[in-house]
Amino acid sequence: VQLQASGGGAVQAGGSLRLSCAASGRLLSRHSMGWFRQAPGKEREFVAAISRSGTFYGDSVKGRFTISRDDAKKTTLLQMSSLKPEDTAVYYCAVNTRGILSSGYDYYSQSSVYDYWGQGTLVTVSS
C-alpha cells in the first residue's frame, strides 16, 4: 500500500483546511486509517483514526477535526476547523491492517500499530 497525503498549507488561526490521503495498492475496506502529526522538536502525536468500530480523536483536536473515508476512491479525509497555531505540524496518514473489530482508541492512537505511512504534508497556522 502506498499513501499520498496532500492539502497542507498556510492558514490563519480560526481557519480551515482539508487534508486528503490517497491510497494505492491493496487497501481493503476493513483496513483502518489514521492521521498523526509531528511538530518541530516534538514527538509524533495521534490526531484521528477511522475503523470499522468507529472514529477516534486525540484530545487536542476533538470537536474541531473530522475524519472520513471514501473506500471507492481509497481516500481518507481530515477536515480541520478552528485551527490554532499549536496545530502547526507535518501531518502523516497511515494504514493499519491488523486491527480487529473491538480495537478502540487505546489501540489506534499508537503509531506502532500502523503498517504503512505517507510522506507527510505541512500545515502552518499563523496567529
Name the band, by pLDDT with cuts 50, 70 and 90, for residue 46.
Answer: very high
Question: At residue 19, does pLDDT exceed 90?
Answer: yes
Query: What mean pLDDT is predicted for residues 70-99?
Result: 95
Residue with cell 497511515: 94
Question: At residue 68, does pLDDT exceed 90?
Answer: yes
Per-residue burial over 55-66, b if 16 or more Cβ lie within 10 Å, else e, is: ebbbeebeeebb
Question: At residue 30, does pLDDT exceed 90?
Answer: no
Name the band, by pLDDT with cuts 50, 70 and 90, for residue 106.
Answer: very high
- Interacting residues of 23 by C-beta distance below 8 A, sequence separation 6+: 1, 2, 3, 4, 74, 75, 76, 95
